[in-house]
A and B are shown apart, each in its own frame.
Chain A
């Protein structure tokens, strides 16, 4: 390889030849830019350097992914030129990731949709015509109004992928009267949230480890250095603790992720055995008397003897046999963890949780913190404020962040005797009729609250997104109108082909509206596409947990006006609500979104202009959120409270229901934990109860009241020629959505099959060989034995550090819609580019020729789509997709 920079020149020639043949979708109106489109230069070189003396800095909240970091955007000549971290953000402390600036690509893309589009041919044909907002909204409102007037508002289904309007879309569905505001929580995180909520209470569905002060981190399958579930909030604190504080970090992972790679120790663990290792560590801690007995007796709902007996059989040797982690290491690390207490913490996420046994695995991991008593302590497993617009557990005196009045009431539960209940399939009616009344009060039909997965909605409504399309196909819910909002199910859900088949079937989905920023596989199957504003063009409220252990809140504010005719989703829904009428409009009585959000923040003790100026509110004078459970309950809250003499539980009766508000200890009324017992619920009868009511065997691992381990059914005795296929996301990507962001796609654009080098040698496979993976349907989901879901063909890349029984493929490549960058195919520009987009005369030369990694230029292309081949596989009771259980066979091609 020579060092000459000649390739770009050479390939320019190739590009000219390749770009001519176009087999793009048929379009209703040629390639002439529509009137009123101003020319848009998106090339930073053409725009000239950023003049920091002149550019305006505006703090906002990033939406490059769902972490929501505080950022500062530099705006010059009406364009956002650069995003940097907001140093006032207590989570990131000023850092930013490799994805964030992709928002500029998304905002300025010459292929972005900036006009309402209406299909002008059969659904899915790619034939579109431009519609005016009035035409589009009138038409859509008429369809929706008809459902309401027919008394069947539940036939309106609003399904989102990413919604950070903090309740605005719920306002719309509640006002409309449908419970069907569906999400994708099961795709991402329900399996790791349920264990937390079961242990610590609904308020604490996400933890805030005190990494800053920790001395040891035991990481089971979390990947904060790359993944986007709050990862960037923790990276600086973790790396500071390691490098400056000498903290020891250990990762159990199936592949050498970035997090495993920066850890002090990495164990390539057999998939689905994290829980066994955690239980064995618990065994060692208890056996050697390293636990914190005083903490346990004060704060746990199980007598210590019971957990001691439960852990007795979970020896390090037992776990070593299952997991491949040597027993001596389990012993050593368990002791080291306990010795570091309370400045030690567990960390876990999808690696442990996205398995058949993943909910219990996370319960087992959480148990370690409780055993050593690090919960809430400095350097330990802390719990911090997630929500500020509710009465805060242990957080009295916080400002409230509340939606403006009047908030709509929302639909009634579908209890036996209601009209909706009578529409349910017979077997569902029987199941729901047997539920306790408190459960029935939360039941809203099978799409919103699937009766076989009650733990997906009993804590709060997490849904089971991957079942939405199969359930619609089975007729469990009739749909009159379906909205996709920033949703990529047709590309990214398991068996995404099922989503596409259902969306293409007009008898199942008579009307489909997609609200999105860019064209993609989901929008391609819509009847209307409504262009949303990007995160750089709109308002949102934001608050989440803070690893700095103080409540904070942030605002997203527009840096620039929406491109073309794009409109923020809130304005789209407001205008629809006004057109639908029938009382809906009362809840959307605002003209300006800034006014609306100013209302939200009215109780935050900071002037609105100052909040806009800083982007962040926090109160540095507040004590850190350590040991919230030890805080005393103020006397005024104790009026009328009763104390249970045996357990010390403090209860109040409000609205006819008994509610635990704290626990009495040493004669003091303490906050305790917001669980039914007021204590940490290491034992939770909800699991066997839910199993019994849904027909799951009480022997199943998911039915166990104490943290337990049982094998992933199909992984037991896995034959030599079968492997476990794990998926993952690269650090520069935010699932499939970012594949159209040019700088991010340039760094990672394709998805080889990663395979352990030793395994490959045994199979006679070499680096670069093409292989075919055949994915089996999990036996508990299969109708017949040996059923397969699909195949995936791609080249192999060998990796020494991967577990020998694992093959690993990233899942967000291989788009066939989205823009030309995502498809690495300039010969077929997105429909937005050909006639409807921002400006075909865009000055971004990066879009004028095929990207260098395109096949047209001899590159590897844009990867291949994997998700059609991955089975729909909800974890029992909770419904979280078991992404990492896939059993595959491998065949070498060619």
Chain B
């Protein structure tokens, strides 16, 4: 019988030096990744291991979308890797904007956000713009009380 993808037996995924490659040219801000992460791991309300920020562009007032990953709680889907599966966020993304790769295989133009403490250094963004860093709060990139340009995430 013909193979169906979810029945495939897979070897555990082994990545020596993982990096999350985020292609911002493809991200549509849909939150499929962050919801999949929360459902997969039972993350309680008020906490996120990764989430998607909607930010107002300073140049034309349109939206830009920025998936951010928490340095402590996000382990890039170790639990799923045991079964040979990609991380929940990567699996969910409808435009394939996310990919977990070997850091050394990353395209040269992929860069981490440089704002200290705002996110992790092993998340590499394709096409991120410098203004996006200035709009992230230092320190608490995933806290619901963060300044979030578009959504009402709690008292300001």
Contacts and interface: CB of A to CB of B under 8 A. Distances in A.
Interface of A: 1-5, 7-8, 43-47, 49-50, 52-53, 57, 59, 72, 81-85, 87-88, 92, 94-102, 104, 225-226, 232, 235-236, 239-240, 242-243, 256-258, 260-262, 266, 610, 613-614, 731-732, 742-744, 746-750, 752, 757, 768, 797, 799-802, 845-846, 851-853, 858-860
Given A57-B6, A92-B94, A95-B93, A743 B61 contact: no
B26 A239 contact: yes
B62 A260 contact: yes
B64 A261 contact: yes
Contacts of A853: 144, 152-154
Which residue among B64, B150, B156 has the maximum number of chain A CB atoms within 10 Å of its CB?
B150
User: Chain A CB within 10 Å — which of B45, B60, B95 has the most?
Assistant: B45
A243 B30 contact: no
Contact of B140 (A3, A84, A744): A3
A700 B53 CA distance: 45
B63 interface: yes
B46 A236 contact: no
B139 interface: yes
B42 interface: yes
Interface in B20-63: 23, 25-26, 28-32, 34-36, 38-42, 44-47, 56-57, 60-63
Interface string B1-29: 10011110000000000000001011011
Given A50-B40, A104-B39, A225 B30 contact: yes
A859 B92 contact: no
Given A2-B139, A85-B92, A98-B35, A261 B62 contact: yes
A148 B137 CA distance: 66
A256 B62 contact: yes
Contact of B36 (A59, A96, A614, A757): A96
B30 A226 contact: yes
23 contacts: A1-B147, A44-B42, A45-B42, A45-B44, A84-B91, A88-B5, A92-B94, A96-B92, A101-B35, A239-B25, A243-B25, A258-B30, A258-B63, A261-B57, A742-B45, A743-B39, A747-B151, A748-B152, A799-B61, A801-B60, A802-B61, A853-B152, A860-B154
Contacts of A95: 32, 92-95
B149 to A, nearest CB: 9
B40 A82 contact: yes
Interface of B: 1, 4-7, 23, 25-26, 28-32, 34-36, 38-42, 44-47, 56-57, 60-65, 79-80, 83, 85, 88, 91-96, 117, 137-140, 143-147, 150-156
Nearest to A257: B63
A258 B28 contact: yes
A801 B155 CA distance: 24
Contact of A801 (B35, B56, B88, B137): B56
Contact of A236 (B5, B35, B94, B117): B94
B32 to A, nearest CB: 5
Contact of B4 (A88, A243, A757, A860): A88
A98 B150 CA distance: 17
B26 A852 contact: no
A848 to B, nearest CB: 11
B61 A613 contact: no
A239 B7 contact: no
B35 A732 contact: yes
Q: Max chain B CB contacts within 10 Å: which of A44, A742, A845, A858? A: A44
Contacts of A59: 4, 6
B28 A750 contact: no
Given A7-B143, A258-B63, A47 B35 contact: no
Nearest to A72: B6
B28 A262 contact: yes
Given A8-B46, A749-B152, A752-B152, A101 B61 contact: no
A43 B25 contact: no
Contacts of A240: 95
Contacts of B46: 7-8, 746, 852
B39 A1 contact: no
Given A52-B85, A801-B61, A852-B45, A258 B29 contact: yes
Contacts of A743: 35, 38-39
Contacts of A731: 28-31
A309 to B, nearest CB: 39
Given A239-B26, A613-B4, A852-B45, A98 B61 contact: no
B94 A97 contact: yes
A236 B62 contact: no
B152 A750 contact: yes
A240 B39 CA distance: 27
Nearest to A798: B56
Nearest to B36: A101
A236 B96 contact: yes
Given A235-B95, A800-B56, 8 more contacts: A1-B139, A3-B139, A7-B143, A45-B41, A53-B83, A94-B5, A747-B34, A768-B156
Contact of A49 (B32, B56, B79, B152): B79
B35 A239 contact: no
B120 to A, nearest CB: 14
B37 to A, nearest CB: 10
Contacts of A242: 25
